[in-house]
Structure 1
Amino acid sequence: MSDFLRSYLTVAVFGVLACALVGAFVGLSALIRPSRKQDQKYLTYESGVDPVGTGWAQSNIRYYIFALLFVMFDVEAVFIFPWATRLEAYGYFGLVEMAIFIFILLLGLLYAWRKGVLKWF
């Protein structure tokens, strides 16, 4: 067996052991805990206060749009950071690829700005 496959076998063995350990702990807790059926267990817990009203609350759509924009640019940061740490290894081609990636994201931001999505009122 090659060293490459042996390293994956080590990871697989640790994964199986971790799953077995979690399963053993969950099974053990199910065996030793007291089982009490009460209606209060099925109520929603809200910081010690009895729930009042329904659980349905509408939010403004602007919150979701800002959240999506945040996620989009947060994912951009996840892609840019490893590229920036290994910039010398990627060379000119990596620089051009990242410039195209940032340009496409800036086009999306410009589109959202022109549509008025970023205006709060």
Structure 2
Amino acid sequence: MSLSMWVPIVGLLILGALFALFSVAIAPIVGPKRANRAKLAAYECGIEPSPTPIGGSRFPIKFYLTAMLFIVFDIEIIFLYPWAVSFDALALFGFVEMVLFIVTVFIAYAYVWRRGGLDWD
């Protein structure tokens, strides 16, 4: 295993870091500076933000369910890509394991659906 195999990966990491630093550094210089009352106000899903009570209030479960649904499908995609790449090498064992994984993901999806996480009222 030679070091020359790592050169493209290190180069890509350096390029990504430089782009991120450049974007953060240049934004205040070239970005718009016309702040008004509407832009400075808190934005809460397209509705007027409501003040919370002094002691705090309960947060609706829909926000947690939406986050859970995002994480479940994000993890599913992370596991499906390598499985699809090495499908031939895994044979029947890999297929059975992926079916069990998808069934597990479907159980989480059914839970979110039953709890109303997919209803956008």
What range describes the TM-score normalised by the shorter chain of this pair?
Answer: 0.5 to 0.7
Whole-angstrom CA distance in 2 between matches of 1:71 and 1:80: 14
Call closer, same or farther: CA 1:51–1:79 in 2, change over 3 Å: same
TM-score by length of 2: 0.53
Aligned length: 94
Structure 1 unaligned blocks of 5 or more: 27-40
Alignment RMSD (CA, Å): 3.9
Corresponding residue of 2:44: 58
State how 1:106-117 maps to structure 2 within 5 Å: 106-117=106-117
Gapped runs of 5+ residues in structure 2? 22-27, 47-59
Once the 2 structures are TM-superposed, how far is the Cα of residue 101 of structure 1 from its aligned partner? 1.0
Aligned to 2:105: 105
2:4 maps to 1:10: yes
Q: Larger C-alpha radius of gyration, 1 or 2?
A: 1
Tell me the percent identity: 29
Where do residues 1-121 of structure 1 align in structure 2 (5 Å cutoff)? 4=1, 6=2, 9-12=3-6, 15=10, 19=14, 45=32, 50-53=34-37, 54-59=40-45, 66=66, 69-70=69-70, 72-121=72-121
Give the structure, 1 or 2, with the largest relative contact order (CA under 8 Å, sep 6 or more): 2
